Structure 1
């Protein structure tokens, strides 16, 4: 009979854990293959489609490469780590459940839809990715705040919390941009596009602030990165809506980015010992005569 890992929460068998890891690996590989297929294999590249249908809140091109590189590298480390014997039954992996795999599968499907210029479908898929990662981050927070909270070292933070937070925050910002893109493609007026853009900026800011309060600084910083790139790329707005509107969007986006960055930097990080260890130390301290 196979012995289960001591750190593995009750109710989760070794077979269930192996299935979860297998699905995570397959889903991540699917996403990587679709993402890095040569241009033209399944349609146009992301850059070609973005340039063809630029919106008034499309982020500057320089914002995409660095953050996606960091996300894919960290998520590769996350997938490799959970395959190691030392990670078997780890509560952080079990806590995330299948939300990470769902995000990877949806992102692969998004890549296919976007390359085929199915803009509305791609917007729905990208919001699905953002929602899946938001649920994953929420599960991590709930586990960290629970009475059975396991230890969270900086190493585990880097391979678990950091990639999911960055991916979640970036896809929230990108998903809202994709919605604006769908509105533009469907022939909405310039004023309607402006309303959608303003609402999108507000939703992104609120999402980033909520994430920072839930100990997901990386999520908030990723949203801030997106807002900064939007604010510094207002050439399309100047052409469609004039200088005043472009300046308003620029100042608003940059200001929100600064607020989110500060909120992320001044919130407590989630790293620390297991909750049981903290409780034991408290009991020992109280038992010492004074």
Structure 2
């Protein structure tokens, strides 16, 4: 059976809800300042263009980043929802709320690091963000959502965040290495690019099957599909990486659908 909220809330619950709100505000401020809303170059021009769609062989094409709008809307709605008295003593929020707050702080911090820090700092922040999001997915998997709102605002939003940051982490590390390694390494870009995508495919497929969640697979497949577009239609061009990215997107997406279909009867029985 799915878990229900505990009868009594505590001061710690109120502190947690307040921390999530504060983290969301920091994230939005970080996104506004880091994104260049108050002046300065846009994100794709920061770090000598390393973070742009043309910054590395494993960077998705520009339209892929539109998924951030969906994620930010989901996080904003989640912040409002979790602050309601009905969610104060919710078991799932007690388990994951602090981690979700941490993920939003790291989200905003990445954009600040991209604008005012170094490329290596952005790598460290996004790796930490990916680890925190992975922890959130594990914690949420310990119990089922109580209703459709819970499922959409918590499971789907966090799943999309995790799935997209998986690809963003690969692109960020690739951008850092592209700036760090000698130009001669570019001659082997097809080889190491395909190898990385094979690893991403294995991890993404295993994650979908283990967590039985569709949203992370959708976000990862989305990023891979646009990575393929970037390599097949723009610079730096690579047919091998582009074709591999297409195959990876299909496999991870299929694994997500299969896992979600298998999980549906179990979730229905838990209600």
Deviations 1:186-233 (A, max 9, x none): 134214655553343234323322332212210111010111111110
Partner of 1:148: none
Please tell me whether residue 237 in structure 1 is matched to residue 229 in structure 2: no
Partner of 1:170: 164
> In the superposition, relative to structure 1, how do residues 58 and 226 fare at CA in structure 2: closer, same or farther (>3 Å)?
same
The CA deviation at 1:77 is: 1.0
* C-alpha separation in 2, matches of 1:209 and 1:42: 41
Look up the SS of the partner of 1:59 in the other structure.
Answer: coil
CA contact under 8 A between 2:71 and 2:157: conserved in structure 1? yes
* C-alpha separation in 2, matches of 1:181 and 1:15: 44
TM-score w.r.t. length of structure 2: 0.85
Partner of 2:135: 135
CA contact under 8 A between 1:153 and 1:273: conserved in structure 2? no
Please tell me whether residue 153 in structure 1 is matched to residue 144 in structure 2: no
Deviations 1:111-131 (A, max 9, x none): 111113611110111111111
CA contact under 8 A between 1:8 and 1:91: conserved in structure 2? yes
Highest Rg: 1 or 2?
1
The CA deviation at 1:51 is: 7.7
Look up the SS of the partner of 1:237 in the other structure.
Answer: coil
**Unmatched segments (≥5 aa) in structure 2:** none
Please tell me whether residue 224 in structure 1 is matched to residue 221 in structure 2: yes
Partner of 1:247: 239
Map of 1:194-273 to 2, 5 A cutoff?
194=190, 196-213=192-209, 214-234=211-231, 235-238=234-237, 246-268=238-260, 272=267
- In the alignment of these two chains, the number of paired residues is 256
**Unmatched segments (≥5 aa) in structure 1:** 1-5, 145-150, 239-245, 278-290
Partner of 2:114: 114
Deviations 1:243-273 (A, max 9, x none): xxx1111110011101111121222366736
Aligned-pair Cα RMSD in Å: 2.5
